[in-house]
A and B are shown apart, each in its own frame.
Chain A
Amino acid sequence: MYKYDEYDQAIVDARVEEFRDQCNRRLSGEMTEDQFKPLRLMNGLYLQLHAYMLRVAVPYGTLDSRQMHMLAHIARKYDRGYGHFTTRQNLQYNWIKLDDAADILAELATVEMHAIQTSGNCIRNISADQYAGAAADEVADPRPYAELLRQWSTFHPEFLLLPRKFKIAVIGADEDRAAMKLHDIGLKLVRNAAGALGFEVYVGGGQGRTPMVAPLIREFLPADDLVSYLEACLRVYNRYGRRDNLYKARIKILVHEIGADEYRRQVEEEYLHVKTLGLDPPAAELERIAAMFALPPLDPNAPGEIERSDPDFALWLDQQVVDHKVPGHAIVTISLKPTGGIPGDASADQIDAMAKLAQVFSHDELRVTHAQNIVLPHVRKADLYAIWTRLEETGLATPNLDLVTDIIACPGLDYCALANARSIPLAQKITERFANLDRQRDLGEVKLKISGCINACGHHHAGHIGILGVDRKGEENYQLSFGGSGAEDASVGKIIGPGFSEDGVVDAVEKALETYRGIRVEGERFLDTYRRVGPEPFKAAIYEKAPA
């Protein structure tokens, strides 16, 4: 885990006091809302449907038990006893008071956390593979580079007022668990033929109104040149990004309009200049950062056998646990998707319980996933039963990872001022419709994602099954799309046909999955079948007319 040095702590502390002054000036009337809004947004404070909402950054989704306990403490003391883990690996509180906001940030700063750049047209929290540092298929841990980028991008004077928000994801394995190609910049650690470490650099991906999978802009960027190259990528965007049209302001539009080849040419030209500025850190600094992400002491001779006689435990084991790169150890994903629950929500007691589990069983480390679950990354296989027992006690042992009920859903119209339709009730109804675990397991991997508006915070474009809520003459209506993926085979889903009511879309999802069951071949996931046969069989089943 990265630990703040004196500079990190000083700038976060100073930012808290600066924001405290800004809040006081707003409360006294010295500042208007128009003046205050961009300032509060740069500190993660939104005004949502029912109250102020505070988005707390969890850099690259990694946190320790002390930080997790703090999140629970804030939920109890300042909010309504719960928090919402987001698709950006952050946490949101929905019921914040303006006169508490600076105190909350001050409490967060005591555990090296903040809400800086969790909103606004700047470089947002860097996201990463939730299995980073523990995955067996990893070239290298991406988090030291994510941390380097956090330091580079925090308060970067050129990039605080970009044409639009900017999101970066970093992975270190072939399997993409972070939807890397659907980010403004996606970085994948690779080794070249000579064995040197570097990045594949993808630029211009994104979801929202105009979803795009990012093209490859650089096949191999030496890892030591990362900061300079990204500086060049951002400079070209900052110079030519469309500031005249909100809907065309993301970098994906620029890359698409001028073409990947021309964008690459301009970046390479800028890079030649930037490289002379000495922005990349000396090797010793990167080594200092990397040392803080060293693997904890794990005994490779730890016993690997697991007693599976409890059938409920065995089910959970098969669904929620994968092998760690060190023998005798495992990575546990804790589902925040109980049947009928709110995806990503956790009570303060549950947050504390997960923190305690991390402290006792996972070398004090947790991860937030972009799929709104929590990971214990470094667990002894011998401890799995004890972990499962404790998760059962706190309602956190749902065994549904990557199944149809492991739904990503944005807060939707229940909380969000931008939303057109509710997302959460739909997720609840689908989890109830498919509550039977045998049925879910038979259907296999189905990534179902729901957004309450075209901004796509619920990643519906990347869902094997995606649902988008729209406003149709004042009524909620839901568009269904199939064929999306946020994984290494990234793709954007296609709308299947006319939209549905809330109940209608649940029925349509069921018809689609039953159609899949009927035509799948051995080993095919829903997505594979859809890609093989196309939309027609699904359309026919979903839109069939009842006999007259």
Chain B
Amino acid sequence: MPDLDDMTWPQIRHAGYDGFVVTFGTRLSEPANRAALAFRDAIDHAGIDAVEESSTSLVSAYVRFDPLQRDHAAMRATLETLVQQHDWFAVGLPSGRRLWRVPTVFGGDAAPQLAEAASVAGLSERDAIASIAETQVRVQTIGFAPGMPYLGELPPAWDIPRQTELTARVPAGGLCVAIRQLVLFPVDTPTGWRHVGQTALRLFRPDAPEPFLLRPGDEVLFDPVSPEELDRVRDDANGGATCEDIA
């Protein structure tokens, strides 16, 4: 196995028949995620022939292209040139990002695994809520299911493993934690992540003008509210969340 830690970053590798992945690290880190978001933004603005689609995962940017229009060697050369243009770890985040404030019920019947998660993280429930609520997390990637964000990075105490047993059902809008990340589920889902908060967000709305609530790179603050307050915003299109552009 290649020792990825000895490599210089980023690495360009082909993915399947018609894609390349540009990877900025072996493990999730804030700078690698930021670099991946910035690099994908650069791909989208470079107007490269034969490119059909791009995306980011946690530490990589992906580009899909038509190899019958532009061969792999030419595509790789284009990406290498783009890689050389900047120190991608130092480049700022793309523009067009937004800061969301999301009403969230922590613990109780609405989010029954808060106490357990806090205990695994070595925090009191009160400190656990404060720790999550005070951390402005970024949408590191959207994936697995439509509109489903992976958010981070939480303070080191939250480097807790996923459960070995699945929680049978976390409702749509559920906020779950593991490995210094938060996820929000677009639909009811069984999961190994611990359910610590509940929001009224509808993350995937196929018939809305903007079908996906969140975009990669958006930032989120989860504001603690009472179950009664959450009930009052359940019918709101954005689940009571507000957003402002990040300058």
The answer to whether A binds B is no
Which positions in B face A, CB cutoff 8 Å?
none
Q: Chain A interface (Cβ within 8 Å of chain B)?
A: none
